[in-house]
Amino acid sequence: EPEVTQTPSHQVTQMGQEVILRCVPISNHLYFYWYRQILGQKVEFLVSFYNNEISEKSEIFDDQFSVERPDGSNFTLKIRSTKLEDSAMYFCASSDPPYRGGYGYTFGSGTRLTVV
Amino acid sequence: DQQVKQNSPSLSVQEGRISILNCDYTNSMFDYFLWYKKYPAEGPTFLISISSIKDKNEDGRFTVFLNKSAKHLSLHIVPSQPGDSAVYFCAASAPSNTGKLIFGQGTTLQVKP
C-alpha cells in the first residue's frame, strides 16, 4: 500500500536554529499538507499546498515557516528560527484530490521535533 | 479554536462490547466529518467518514452517526477488539478546495480482553 514517508523520525535542535523536515508524498498525489501535534494536544492544521503554492495556511504558520516542493518527489517544511514552543510531532499528508469525503488522506508517521 | 470537541479523553470497554466515541462541533458549515485512528509513533489513519447530508454511514464494525440539529456525531465500534485500542480523532472539513481538516482533541480507547 502506498505510504507517505517522513524523515527524520526524530530531530533535536537548538533554539534559534533552522530545521527542515522532509516528506515524500504518495507519488500520484497532488495536494500536500503539514499538521502538527503538541504532546497531549489535538492535531492542528498548518498548511496546504497545491500546484506549487500555498492554498491555505493557519495562524500558526507565520513568517518563520515555509514549505517547498524542491523536486518531483519531496515536500519540505522549514522552520527558520526554532522556538521551544515549536516542539511537537509534525505530520505530512497527501491526497488526490483534496479530501472531499470518502477516503480521507494519507498521513506519514511523523517527525518528532524537540527544541532545546 | 474549539470548533470540534471530544469531551471524553478516555474510554475503556470490554472486548466484544460496543464502544461509542462522541464528538461535538460548532460550525454548521462543515460538510464532511471523519474519524481517524492513531497508534503511538504512527500517523493518523483514516477510518470512516460521513457527509453532512447523511445521518449514518457504516463500514464493517464501524458506524458513524450524525445528528446535525445537535451538531453531534458518534462512532460506534461493534464488537470492540483489543486491536482497536488507540487514540480516535474526530475531524471536520468545510467547503473549500484546500482540504484543511479541523481535529478534535482525541479520545483514547482501551479495549480490555
Q: Measure CB to CB from residue A110 to each of B43, B93, B100 and give the nearest one.
A: B43
What is the pLDDT confidence band of residue A99, given thresholds at 50, 70 and 90?
low
Nearest chain B alpha carbon to A92? B43
Q: Using a CB-CB distance cutoff of 8 angstroms, which residues of chain A are in contact with residue B106?
A: 42-43
Mean pLDDT of A31-58: 92
Mutate: best of A7, A32, A45, partner B, most B CBs <10 A = A45
Asked whether the predicted pLDDT for residue B25 surpasses 60, the reply is: yes
What distances in angstroms separate CA B98 from CA A31, A45, A50, B5, one per listed residue? Answer: 8, 11, 8, 22
Asked whether the predicted pLDDT for residue B14 surpasses 60, the reply is: yes
Q: How far is A104 from chain B (nearest CA, A)?
A: 6
Cα B51 to Cα B92: distance, rounded to the nearest angstrom: 10
Query: Locate cell 458513524: which residue?
Result: B64
